[in-house]
Structure 1
Amino acid sequence: MTLDPRLQELLDREEIRQLITAYCNAADRHDHKRMRSLYHEDAIDEHGAMFSGPAMEFIDRLPEIQANMEILHHNVTTINLAIDGDRAEGEVYLLALHRARMPDGPIDVLVGGRYFDKYERREGKWKFLHRAIVADWANVHEPSIIDLDHPFLAGAKIGRPGPSDPSYDFFKLLRRGE
């Protein structure tokens, strides 16, 4: 049975949107296993001076790249997609906060930019085929202005990279760490 093309496009858009947001979660939680599952084996990732080349090599280097990242917080906003059968392209707007340990103390970098994405559906599953980061602006605070010890946050759960993040204990349906 063939679906109405409009319904198929909605299903494809939703699966690609879930792929995009899964990337944000995997990056922020330093979940490299999950990150690997989002790309095709022959995919390319261009992350500026940080890395440019095969996505699987990028993911292999993530522990080193993320080692000094105390906080990563990726947010996507506008998602523009064009779908043609089993191929799609996306221009995805993002805001990404990075708090990094530096020799003189932590710094904050808030980047406003876009992902230029190419996706491909193989064996019924959409994954990244090519992802390139485009920086449109950056706001840098040196030293950091983030204060997680402020009384306003007293008693709140505090996010962390990896499985020590409170989401791993809180959620059961979202299946963190699998």
Structure 2
Amino acid sequence: MSDKEARLQELLDREEIRQLITVYCQASDRHDHEKLRTLYHEDAIDDHGAMFCGPAMEFIEKLPEIQAPMEILHHNVTTINLAFDGDYAEGEVYLLALHRAKTPDGPMDVLVGGRYFDKYAKRDGKWKFLHRAIVADWANIHSPSIIDLEHPFLEGAKIGKPGPSDPSYAFFRLIKRGA
């Protein structure tokens, strides 16, 4: 492979991993567990701290219970640093993740600024997560919640929801739930 072909392949690989990262955010926010399963290798590890650390497929199995109190999930990735070694890559991915969760005292907001420490592997021509760990750098917590989706400024706006009732599924033809 020439230097130009190798550089082009790395650009293609970078873009595939960026897509993997952003689809993870969409699938997480929409509680699309079927789609999440397609993003990890079968032997992958997911480390979400005290919430869960172990096989990614087991984490996804537990997500309905973990996400049950979540009224809003909103993951945003910013800086993406990737390094490659053939069919193996590592990534440090900065994120802002907003969670609005039901509690016995009413809804609370948790805005986390952190990073994903990722390991990726390309198998059968496809990049997927091999190991994903979340690192919290800061958190901003409001209890009770300060989110106001009833404010007149939002009147008439479509309001996002976790799950298949999110307005994106009625709007898009190409972006779908599941695989």
Aligned: 1:65 with 2:60: no
The aligned counterpart of 1:145 is 146
The aligned counterpart of 1:32 is 33
The aligned counterpart of 1:165 is 166
Unmatched segments (≥5 aa) in structure 2: none
Letter in 2 for 1:64: E
Residues in 2 aligned to 1:72 and 1:37: alpha-carbon distance in whole angstroms:
20
Higher RCO (CA 8 Å, separation ≥ 6 residues) = 2
Residues in 2 aligned to 1:37 and 1:175: alpha-carbon distance in whole angstroms:
13
The aligned counterpart of 1:56 is 57
SS of the residue corresponding to residue 89 of structure 2 reads strand
Task: Give the 5 Å matches for 1:6-155.
Answer: 6-155=7-156
The structural deviation recorded for 1:174 is: 1.7
Moved runs in structure 1, 4+ residues, more than 2 A? Answer: 175-178
Letter in 2 for 1:29: R
The structural deviation recorded for 1:118 is: 0.1
Q: Is the 8 A contact 2:35 2:177 kept in 1?
A: no
The structural deviation recorded for 1:84 is: 1.1
Letter in 2 for 1:131: R
The structural deviation recorded for 1:161 is: 0.4
Aligned residues: 178
Q: Is the 8 A contact 1:159 1:165 kept in 2?
A: yes
State the Cα deviation string for residues 107-126 of structure 1 (Å, max 9, x = none).
00000000000000000000
Q: Is the 8 A contact 1:113 1:136 kept in 2?
A: yes
Letter in 2 for 1:57: E
SS of the residue corresponding to residue 36 of structure 2 reads helix
The structural deviation recorded for 1:177 is: 4.1
Q: Normalised by the size of structure 2, how large is the TM-score?
A: 0.97
